[in-house]
Structure 1
Amino acid sequence: MTARGTLRVATVQFAVTADPRHNGRIIRRFMARAKAARADAVHFSECALSGYAGSEFTTWDGYPWETLRQETEHVMAEARRLKLWTILGSTHPLTPPNKPHNSLFVIDPRGCIVDRYDKRFLTVGDLDYYSAGDHWTTWTLNGVKCAALICFDVRFPELYREIKKLGVEMVFQSFYNARVAKRGPHIHTYIMRQTAQAQCGINYLWMSANNSSAWYSSWPSVFIRPDGFIVGQLPMNRAGMMVNVVDTHKTFYDASGRFRADTMRGQLHSGTQPRRDPRSRNRTAL
């Protein structure tokens, strides 16, 4: 384990498929690579184990739930063997007729699931396949407070403000923007990383943001520091892993830092307001 207040994070991307067995084999190989690279935690993309409904398949009819359960147990056993925190994108079935959750499982070095984040904001397409989550998932890893979010959550700044209020420093956010119909750059190529960067810079958060690398993948996995700067990026459309270090002892550019706490308490200005000055109150006079 690295020094307290720091984390070595392995961010992984690969071409997610509809086959949990195939995905599971790839996941376990990357877990071994992450351990060899001295990572404290390994992070996988949205639905990395289960496959992503609406893309890899279009119905839950005949889905191999028992196989998914077995593969999840294999990943848990590997986390225990390697003594490695594992943030696993998958699907969590509910009681029929409820649709399953799109989830991130937080697996500790004992191989135990310590919590599960369920995607709160579902896209219009997701609504056909998934049920929304209703809770925060936070945990402390080596003195660093972490949280989980998934893909479309990135469009909702309120989520980042709330986890900031909880004292979160590091976000594991898993995405799926792959197998797009247009075989080339499109809007996600130009806005997804940038939106994640903005959320980090506005709220002073570290982030591991990964994507499936299945062709065509709109953008590559990135690692973002609290000023919004991308410090690591994988190649597009290729499986790979990168290891980056979260160091909460370092200080980065934070223009809004002085005013953030007041803003979160509802004070939507900085400095003093001359409320009694008639020249301030009269907005129609020169």
Structure 2
Amino acid sequence: MTIATAQPPVTCDPAANGTAIRTLMRQAHERGAALVHFPEGALSGYAGQAKQHFSAWNVDWTLVRQELDATRVLAAKLGLWVIVGSNHRLSDGHRPHNSLYVISHRGDIVDRYDKRYLSHTEITDFYTPGFTPTTLDIGGYRFGLSLCIEINFPEVFLDYLHRGVDCVLFSTFSHDPIFDVIARGHAATTNQWISVSVPAQCSTAMPAGIIGPHGAWLTQCTSDGNTDLTFATLDRNAPELRIALHAARPWRATARDGSIYQQRRVNDPGSRDRTVW
């Protein structure tokens, strides 16, 4: 299965964002991708990029909805799955969710991931937290969704591993180069693919790209602040992934279960007493 990871410019103008998203969707389709993955806030804009703008709740929700609908129509036309970041409006004056919409190849919103681990600024001033992990099955592969500072919480990626996820779609609006190191570490220790989508203006710190289950980048966009799109094919039988997928991942599952160690536990005074030689 071929997936595309996008690196679009993300502004506070949903119309400009929608145009950039749909341009990259067409390019992803032309190159045979079944799914294209966009960054945090890709459609609506992200609160962190313009706090004054969002602190006044100056969000044109009508325009956000129009651009989302136009994106859904194009997804159906192309037969393309789209994972796109956006604020999600709530009712009764509640702050929005910071979300990823899951748009199917038929143009339907079939699920949504609401960011669970919010930063201090986000939870204080901008967003309502979510509480539910999101997985989806496409083309024989299972995907999990994650947003920004959740990269700092290994339990998010371990939980997706226990749920049988093959690839985590990680969207961020961050200019922190340490995310590169952490994302590769998660991929290597959980033996999952991780797609990392960032805005073009953040690419100088970490370009968008796709990390293999062995912890190495398979492909990356440019790091010069420009719009880009990159592709990788998820293939469980790729020779370079044999150890990660067919040795390390099943062995670590057995190790986490613990039974192999319990079977070899001995009743020995030298083992019980940890204060003696």
Q: Would the TM-score normalized by the shorter structure come out above 0.5?
A: yes
1:28 maps to 2:15:
no
The equivalences for 1:92-103 within 5 A come to 92-103=88-99
Distance change in 2, residues 1:258/1:238 (3 Å): same
Q: Name the residue aligned to 1:182.
A: none
Contact 2:2–2:232 (CA under 8 A) maintained in structure 1: yes
Q: Give secondary structure in 2 for the equivalent of 1:244.
A: strand
Aligned AA for 1:27? Answer: I
Q: Give secondary structure in 2 for the equivalent of 1:103.
A: strand
Query: TM-score normalized by structure 2?
Result: 0.91
Distance change in 2, residues 1:162/1:238 (3 Å): same
Distance 1:85 1:212 in 2: 19
Distance 1:270 1:35 in 2: 48
Distance 1:242 1:284 in 2: 56
Q: Name the residue aligned to 2:65.
A: 69
Aligned AA for 1:260? Answer: R
Q: Name the residue aligned to 1:39.
A: 33
Distance change in 2, residues 1:216/1:138 (3 Å): closer
Q: Name the residue aligned to 2:252.
A: 260
Comparing 57-66 with 116-125, greater Cα deviation is found at 57-66
Instruction: Give how far 1:123 is off.
Output: 1.1
Match of 1:169 among 142, 166, 170: 166
Distance 1:123 1:17 in 2: 21
Match of 1:211 among 198, 202, 207: 198
Deviations, residues 191-228 of structure 1 (Å, cap 9, x unaligned):
21111111111111111111112167421112111111
Match of 2:48 among 29, 49, 54: 54
Contact 1:225–1:231 (CA under 8 A) maintained in structure 2: yes
Aligned AA for 2:160? Answer: I
Query: TM-score normalized by structure 1?
Result: 0.88
Q: Name the residue aligned to 2:145.
A: 148
Distance change in 2, residues 1:93/1:264 (3 Å): farther
Match of 1:82 among 71, 78, 89: 78
Structure 1 alignment gaps of length 5 or more: 1-6, 179-187
Corresponding pairs, count: 269
Q: Name the residue aligned to 1:110.
A: 106
Aligned AA for 1:248? Answer: R
Instruction: Give how far 1:166 is off.
Output: 1.2
Instruction: Give how far 1:96 is off.
Output: 2.9
Distance change in 2, residues 1:143/1:60 (3 Å): farther
% identity of equivalent residues: 33
Contact 1:102–1:130 (CA under 8 A) maintained in structure 2: yes
Match of 1:202 among 175, 178, 189: 189
The equivalences for 1:268-283 within 5 A come to 270=261, 273-283=264-274
**RMSD of aligned C-alpha atoms?**
1.9
Comparing 129-138 with 242-251, greater Cα deviation is found at 242-251
1:241 maps to 2:224:
no
Structure 2 alignment gaps of length 5 or more: none
Instruction: Give how far 1:30 is off.
Output: 0.5
Distance change in 2, residues 1:192/1:115 (3 Å): same
Distance 2:184 2:260 in 1: 23
Contact 2:76–2:107 (CA under 8 A) maintained in structure 1: yes
Distance 2:74 2:252 in 1: 41
Distance 1:131 1:271 in 2: 43
Q: Give secondary structure in 2 for the equivalent of 1:235.
A: coil
User: Which structure shows the higher helix fraction?
Assistant: 2
Runs of 4 or more above 2 Å deviation: 215-218, 248-265, 267-275
Distance 1:61 1:124 in 2: 18
Q: Give secondary structure in 2 for the equivalent of 1:139.
A: strand
Aligned AA for 1:74? Answer: A
Q: Give secondary structure in 2 for the equivalent of 1:67.
A: helix
Contact 2:173–2:202 (CA under 8 A) maintained in structure 1: no
Instruction: Give how far 1:263 is off.
Output: 4.8
